[in-house]
Amino acid sequence: MNTFFLEFDDPLFGIIIFFLLIFVITFFSYWYNRFKKKEDYRHLDKFLKQFHSLPSQDELKVFITKGELSEKSWLLLANAYAKSGNYEKSIEIYSELLKVGDKANYRDTLFLLGKTYFRAGFLERARQIFLEILKANPRTPQALNYLLLVYEQMRDYKQAIEILEPLGELKKDITTESAYLNALLILNSLKLSPEAKVYELLEIYKKNNQLAYLIFEYIFRVNPKVAWENFDVSKSELLVDILWSANKKDLNFDIIMQNGYLRELYTAKGYIKEATKSSVFELDVLINLDSKANATLGFEYICSSCKVVFPFAFHRCSNCHAIDTSRAELSIVKDYHKDFSEENNSFQ
C-alpha cells in the first residue's frame, strides 16, 4: 500500500508541487488577461459612446458657462457643426455665446448666428438678426449683403433693391446686383404680360450686357423669334444648353449659318450638315458619329467664381453668392429621349 503514497521528503513530491504551481499560475494569468482585455473593450466602448450622441442644449449651456474652452474654440466648433449641416447645434452654441461670451465679440457672433439661420433656411430669424446688427451699426456691409440675400430668398425684390442704396454709399459696386434684382422683379411680376417682360428684360440686357443666361433663357422660352433677333451670338457657348434643347422649328438658320460655333452645335445635333469637325471635343465626337449612335450632350454647371459644380443651371451661386457665374460643362451621355421615341415608333 505504501508504494502508492509519496513521502514528503521524496524528490518526486517536490517536482509534482513545482509543476502544479506552474499550472495554477498559468491558469490564473490566462483568465486575468482575458478579463482585463474585456474590461479594456468596455472602457473603449464607453469612451466612444459619448461621441455617438451630441451634447444636449443643457449640457452645452453648462460646458460654455464653465469656461473650460476659449470662446474661439467654441466659435470654431460652431462653424464645424454648421459646415457639416448640423445647424441646430451651431445655432445653440452661438446663442449661448451671445449670453455669456465676451461683449467685444457680440456683433461678430450675432452676424455668424444670422448667417447660420440664413443657411438653415430660417429667413425671418436671419432678417431680424441682420436688422438688429444694422440698427446698432448701419455701416456694416456684410450684414447689408446678407439682408439683401434674405429678401431675395423671400422673393421680396423691392426690399432687396432698397438695400442697394446703402451698399452703394459704402462704395460697393452694385451694377450687377441692381440689374439682377430688377430682372427678377420683372420676371416675377404678376402685372406685366410675357411680351412686356421680354422688352423690359431686353432693356436691362442692352444697358449692362450682363445676365445673358437669365434673360435669354426666358425670352427663348416665351418668344424665340425676338430672342434670335436680339441674341448676341458671341454668348452662344454660355447658353449652349438652351440652344441645344430649342425646338427645330424655332431656330433661325440664317443666324446659325453665319456663326462657326452654332454651325458645329446644330451639326452635332443632327439638324444640319454644315461642319465636319469641331474644336470642342464633345461636339467633334457627335459630328463624327453622325447620329449613328444613341448619344447626346449632357450638362453640368460650374460656378466660374468658386468652381463648385451643380447639376442645374443657376443665376446666383448658392455657395459663393456670385451672380451670372454659371458655366455649362459638356459631356456625352446616352440619349434616353431617342430610346423612348424609337420604342414608341415600334408600336405604331
| Cβ 83 to Zn ion shortest distance, Å | 16
Nearer to Zn ion, 78 or 211 (CB): 211
| Cβ 285 to Zn ion shortest distance, Å | 29
| Cβ 314 to Zn ion shortest distance, Å | 9
Cα–Cα distance for residue pair 75/60, rounded to 1 Å:
13
**Element at 295 (helix H, strand E):** strand 295-303
Cα–Cα distances (Å) from 82 to 52, 93, 115, 124, in that order, read 18, 11, 10, 18
Cα–Cα distance for residue pair 322/317, rounded to 1 Å:
5
Write out the residues near Zn ion by the rule CB under 5 A.
303, 305-306, 317, 319-320
| Cβ 309 to Zn ion shortest distance, Å | 10
| Cβ 303 to Zn ion shortest distance, Å | 3
Reference 153, options 184, 174, 112, 131; nearest CA is 184
Nearer to Zn ion, 297 or 328 (CB): 328
Nearer to Zn ion, 147 or 317 (CB): 317
Nearer to Zn ion, 286 or 303 (CB): 303
The dihedral through the CA atoms of 245, 248, 251, 253 has a sign that is positive
Which single residue is written with the C-alpha cell 447660420?
116
Cα–Cα distance for residue pair 325/180, rounded to 1 Å:
12
Torsion of CA 104, 108, 114, 118, to 10 degrees: -170
Nearer to Zn ion, 288 or 319 (CB): 319
Amino acid at 115: K
| Cβ 307 to Zn ion shortest distance, Å | 7
Nearer to Zn ion, 81 or 314 (CB): 314
